[in-house]
């Protein structure tokens, strides 16, 4: 064993620090969203573009699933795919996101044909899927640990949508309510895997870098949106 490894506690703290420094809740687009400053067109653009990310979540999870080393972990990871793709009697997260689109005024066919997806958003999401396809499973799992940070932003987003964007139909918020329970469960399993299989300091550093990469992907999506749908200058 590498005696220079971080302790499990320090390793977990370093992973969480990535979120504290780089998670996309700090992006100006999200800051404006949470301040209630976005126009309906900007909200719709965010929902339509984020759909491309949502529809690819089970794809990247299937790629990771195929590489996990144990049956027990594959069984647990499989639930992520079911959560998004759904099954009979439960249409899942992708359908819930489409209904969010309808709740903000995007017709279903416009969500499904991806006419509003920006090229840079498509590029960023495809880069993430390819990362999970090509990298060792350990690093792909580490890249998914943005789920450590998502419950806080999801809870805040629900409150903001209800209070500051009352034109959004409340039935569109089902996706967020479901993720409040799913994301912590997924993050717990991901952390177990990453911490348990880190054999050396190099493994730990590669995991931290994988999580930074994922944060960059989420940040790039918002960069593209802010370029195409500029924010109003904030009053100082």
d(CA 210, CA 5): 18
Question: What is the count of structural domains for the chain?
Answer: 1
Digit-coded pLDDT (tens) for 111-132: 999 999 999 999 999 999 999 9
* Residue 234 within a domain: no
The residues, ordered by sequence, that sit 6+ positions from 163 with a Cβ below 8 Å of its Cβ are 36
d(CA 19, CA 187): 13
Give me the pLDDT at residue 46, please: 98
Q: Are 213 and 142 in contact (CB under 8 A)?
A: no
Q: What is the mean pLDDT of residues 201-218?
A: 98
**234 pLDDT band (50/70/90 cuts)?**
low
Whether residue 236 is predicted with pLDDT greater than 80 in this model: the reply is no
* Residue 47 within a domain: yes
The distance of Cα 182 from the centroid of its chain, to the nearest Å, equals: 12
**235 pLDDT band (50/70/90 cuts)?**
low
User: CATH number, domain at 147?
Assistant: 1.20.910.10
Digit-coded pLDDT (tens) for 23-61: 999 999 999 999 999 999 999 999 999 999 999 999 999
d(CA 57, CA 179): 13
* Residue 130 within a domain: yes
Percent of the chain with pLDDT over 90: 92
199 is in which domain, residue-wise?
Answer: 8-228
Give me the pLDDT at residue 3, please: 60
* Residue 20 within a domain: yes
Digit-coded pLDDT (tens) for 64-114: 999 999 999 999 999 999 999 998 778 899 999 999 999 999 999 999 999
Supply the pTM of this predicted model. Answer: 0.94
The residues, ordered by sequence, that sit 6+ positions from 60 with a Cβ below 8 Å of its Cβ are 128, 129, 132, 133, 140, 144
d(CA 216, CA 21): 11
Closest CA to 221 of 21, 37, 48, 84: 48
d(CA 73, CA 174): 28
SS3 124: helix
d(CA 208, CA 214): 10
* Residue 69 within a domain: yes
Give me the pLDDT at residue 1, please: 47
Give me the pLDDT at residue 97, please: 97
């Amino acid at each position: 064993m590498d005696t220079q490894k971080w302790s499990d506690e320090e390793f977990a703290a370093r992973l969480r620090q990535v979120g504290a420094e780089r998670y996309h809740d700090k992006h100006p687009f999200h800051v404006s969203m949470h301040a209630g400053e976005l126009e309906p067109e900007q909200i719709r653009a965010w929902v339509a573009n984020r759909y491309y990310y949502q529809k690819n979540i089970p794809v990247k999870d299937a790629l990771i699933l195929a590489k996990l080393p144990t049956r027990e972990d594959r069984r647990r990871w499989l639930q992520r795919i079911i959560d998004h793709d759904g099954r009979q009697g439960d249409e899942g997260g992708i359908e819930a996101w489409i209904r969010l689109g309808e709740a903000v005024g995007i017709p279903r066919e416009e969500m499904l044909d991806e006419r509003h997806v920006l090229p840079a958003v498509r590029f960023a999401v495809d880069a993430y899927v390819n990362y999970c396809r090509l990298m060792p499973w350990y690093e792909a799992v580490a890249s998914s640990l943005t789920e450590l940070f998502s419950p806080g932003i999801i809870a805040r987003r629900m409150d903001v949508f209800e209070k500051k964007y009352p034109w959004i139909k409340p039935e569109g918020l089902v996706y967020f309510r479901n993720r409040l329970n799913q994301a912590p469960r997924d993050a717990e399993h991901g952390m177990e895997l990453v911490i348990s299989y880190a054999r050396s300091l190099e493994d730990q550093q590669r995991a931290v870098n994988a999580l930074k990469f994922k944060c960059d992907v989420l940040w790039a999506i918002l960069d593209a949106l802010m370029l195409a749908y500029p924010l109003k200058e904030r009053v100082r």
